[in-house]
Chains A and B, each alone.
Chain A
């Protein structure tokens, strides 16, 4: 049996716990510090009742509710809270893993009273953090995750063989993880209406998600970073600076994991080019941020337009292999020494403490 914990309106709940004046009010947490020009990454339940939800533009949300409260997302507090909840859950001594920043899964196969455990977990979370969680319990992760969304907020749902058909029959298809987008729309057009339809007609979909409790750290298949700019830019120097910044971030994470990448993928989005993406594979794997940038820039040069406007961009490294530390040439050794030193400075004083001067252009959005 899997117990799946899903925090209720996680970011918004934390902000309401931090600022008691926001409690009971419709609140949105914006991904960017501009209340009229950002995307909502979390909405309080008071805002959700008005039809406001994550992914919506803030402008649209304020049209629905002009008195909406707004807070800019600050990831540090959400990550810290998530880590503390995880540490608290470890005290139960059961196999445990993250499903996301605000979701956790526990293997409770050996536990005699799953509902009592679920209640205890919810009470402890509320007592320690003043925020609520909803819990789902079922025989596999996907069913448990689906169950956790049924009695939100602050609820517990157990799906067993006796009530499975009843509960899944009342659960719309889009409530199942992975069914909210195009896949769900496609299945819906073919007559799948509820989670029960999916369970009966595609049982393998549920069986392929037993839960992730491997003791071995998962090796990533790719590492990437992307960013949506406040507005479309056409200054090529600034766009190159953003590609450089994203390459620095990707390179840092590769080096941290002792990995190197053979393939670099660059993705650009803009009003004139739509979605442009291409990749370059080299026989020589690298985790040197400048080399990642150079390869990305060569991809960017493939765009046929001169000075296209860019609104969003991303750099991803894939075909990852363990880093090989054999440097034959003096220049190569010096370069590796420089990179190691820069990483140590950023590790000591915080990421972004020292960075290539070119990256400074990202501060300019003109």
Chain B
């Protein structure tokens, strides 16, 4: 049953001007190599290589998806033990990237 009470905000939010006092952590958007387990109809990243360093994923804290036209981007919040990262996978370009480091 489609939701009736509200409408998802369109990507017109791209038009919101950048603010010089922006507090959002810097988006890295850097390509990574990722080892992934596809199990029980879920994508489970296991480890990734970023800037020639390997990061073993201890926990997947959260995951969600966003649609951009026909593309679907799968987002994951992962912890490597000491740090947490947001990584993502684009199902059209098949690109894995690290979006940001959580501080």
Show the binding face of A for B, using Cβ within 8 Å.
14, 17-21, 30, 32-37, 70, 72, 75-77, 79-83, 86, 90, 96-101, 129-130, 212, 217-218, 230, 245, 248-249, 252-253, 346-353, 355, 359, 362-365
Asked, given contacts A33-B23, A35-B21, whether A18 binds B86 with beta carbons under 8 Å apart, the answer is yes
Asked, given contacts A253-B7, A352-B11, whether A81 binds B22 with beta carbons under 8 Å apart, the answer is no
- A98 and B61 within 8 A (CB): no
B3 to chain A, nearest CB (A): 5
Tally of chain B residues near chain A (CB < 8 A):
40
**A355 — which chain B residues lie within 8 A by C-beta?**
12, 15
- A218 and B4 within 8 A (CB): yes
- A350 and B71 within 8 A (CB): yes
**A82 — which chain B residues lie within 8 A by C-beta?**
3
- A18 and B4 within 8 A (CB): no
- B3 and A98 within 8 A (CB): yes
Chain B 11-48 interface mask (CB, 8 Å, partner A; 1/0): 11111111101111000000000000000000000000
A284 to chain B, nearest CB (A): 25
- B69 and A353 within 8 A (CB): yes
- B21 and A21 within 8 A (CB): no
- A72 and B23 within 8 A (CB): yes
- A20 and B64 within 8 A (CB): no
Asked, given contacts A18-B61, A98-B4, A347-B69, whether A72 binds B24 with beta carbons under 8 Å apart, the answer is yes
Can you sample 18 A-B contacts with CB below 8 Å? A14-B62, A17-B61, A17-B77, A19-B61, A33-B24, A34-B19, A70-B23, A81-B64, A98-B3, A130-B61, A245-B15, A249-B12, A347-B70, A350-B11, A350-B67, A351-B11, A352-B13, A362-B17
Q: In whole angstroms, how far apart are the Cα atoms of A346 and B96 in the complex?
A: 24
Asked, given contacts A35-B23, A98-B5, whether A359 binds B17 with beta carbons under 8 Å apart, the answer is no
Q: In whole angstroms, how far apart are the Cα atoms of A145 and B84 in the complex?
A: 36
Interface flag for B10 (CB, 8 Å):
yes
B70's contact among A21, A86, A129, A348, by CB below 8 Å, is which? A348
**B5 — which chain A residues lie within 8 A by C-beta?**
98-101
Q: List 7 additional contacts besides A350-B71, A351-B12; criterion CB under 8 Å.
A: A17-B77, A33-B23, A77-B66, A97-B1, A217-B4, A218-B4, A352-B14
**A347 — which chain B residues lie within 8 A by C-beta?**
69-70
- Complex: chain B residue closest to A364, CB-CB: B17
A295 to chain B, nearest CB (A): 20
**B61 — which chain A residues lie within 8 A by C-beta?**
17-20, 130
Interface flag for B102 (CB, 8 Å):
yes
A257 to chain B, nearest CB (A): 10
**B77 — which chain A residues lie within 8 A by C-beta?**
17-19
**B16 — which chain A residues lie within 8 A by C-beta?**
32, 362
Q: Which residue, B4, B7, B64, B65, has most C-beta atoms of chain A within 10 A? A: B64
- B17 and A363 within 8 A (CB): yes
**A253 — which chain B residues lie within 8 A by C-beta?**
7
Interface flag for B79 (CB, 8 Å):
yes
**A72 — which chain B residues lie within 8 A by C-beta?**
23-24
A118 to chain B, nearest CB (A): 21
Asked, given contacts A97-B1, A97-B4, A217-B4, whether A80 binds B19 with beta carbons under 8 Å apart, the answer is no
B62's contact among A18, A76, A363, by CB below 8 Å, is which? A18
